[in-house]
Amino acid sequence: MIIWKFGGTSVADGERISALCDIYLNENADEKPGAIVVSALGGTTDTLLELSQHAAGGGDYTTLLESLHQRHSKAASQLGIAHSCPFIDLSFQELAEILKGVFLLRDLSQKTIALIVSFGERLSAQIVTQAFLHRGVATQYLDARELVLTDSRYESARVKRLETTKHIANYFHDHPQLQIVTGFIAANDVGDTTTLGRGGSDYTASLFGAALEASNIHIWTDVDGVLSADPRKVPEAFLLDQISYEEAMELSHFGAKVLHPPTIQPAREKSIPIYIRNSFHPNNPGTCITSKTS
């Protein structure tokens, strides 16, 4: 089984979501269905945070909200699945009610922010689910809040690994279909929405990979892999075919946009290779993060 994760640029619109489906169907033919973890459509989390701040400050948030609504509706139309996506209108109705409450009360708690930003991944995962169903692939939408348990730090929450691993393993035992999973979001003991921090969808993929003892984890982004240095500072920087878990952790902690820092540990514990690949250049092998250095 392979766990796939597609970032925001890889699910930016209907065209990119169609490419996602192509990549999965071309590369996963001989594997168990596994799971695809998705981020929000590129830039959506920032927009949701901006909406929250406008509402809390008593400003106009409705124009930006409508623009975001139309963007998601357009993605569904591009995929030919608009008729299968009533959840888009329903989700934006719910989001509008939450923002109206923030506007009236002029109050924006961390708990409310976590709930608001969760709409990004929930919408993208449901759209991707419908895109696969449209192609005749047995697919289910999976809200990670049902399985990933955290403490009550609503932003950058700490995952309760033992309970989460058990939840994931039990769920997949009973659900063999391809699962489209919301990245980034989780829930605490009482069911409140929490988040795993910016870039947390990578961590979601690693948690699922470790719990299911996946053969590989493929992180699809908009770069060809990990470079030896920042190409803006070192023009002769080159693509690394393979690096160790330790090297990847060091790069992440020093600010390199390789992976969300907590991502490495669950995969490392189970010796699961992580591949960083470019959804715009799917034939490129990317960089493999593993226990061995090149």
Does the domain at 2-42+122-290 match CATH 3.40.1160.10? Answer given as yes
Question: Cα–Cα distance between 5 and 266 in angstroms, integer?
Answer: 15
CA angle 288, 290, 293 (to 5 degrees): 90
Are 2 and 22 a contacting pair, CB within 8 Å?
Answer: no
Q: Given this model, what pLDDT does residue 254 score?
A: 65
Give the integer Cα–Cα distance in Å for 195 and 155. 5
Residues of the chain with pLDDT under 70: 253-257, 293-294
What pTM was computed for the model?
0.95
First to last CA, the chain: 25
DSSP H or E segment with residue 277:
strand 274-278
* H helical segments located in 11-85: 14-27, 44-56, 62-78
Q: Give the residue among 200, 196, 193 at the shortest CA–CA distance from 94.
A: 193
Whole-Å CA distances, 261 to 37, 196, 266, 267: 17, 11, 11, 12
Q: What is the pLDDT of residues 122-131, one digit of tens each?
A: 999 999 999 9
Per-domain residue ranges for the chain? 2-42+122-290
**What is the distance between the alpha carbons of residues 44 and 47, in angstroms, rounded to a whole number?**
5
**Structure tokens that stand for 236 in this block:** 């002769």
How many whole angstroms from its chain centre is CA 95? Answer: 20
pLDDT in tens, 31-85: 899 999 999 999 999 999 999 999 999 999 999 999 999 999 999 999 999 999 9
What pLDDT is recorded for position 36? 99
Question: Can you spell out the DSSP letters for 138-157?
Answer: -EEEE-GGGT-BB-S-SSSP
C-alpha angle with apex 142: 167 to 139, nearest 5 degrees?
A: 120
- How far is CA 169 from each of CA 1, 51, 191, rounded to the nearest angstrom? 13, 36, 20
Distances, alpha carbon 224 to alpha carbons 177, 264, 273, in Å:
30, 19, 17
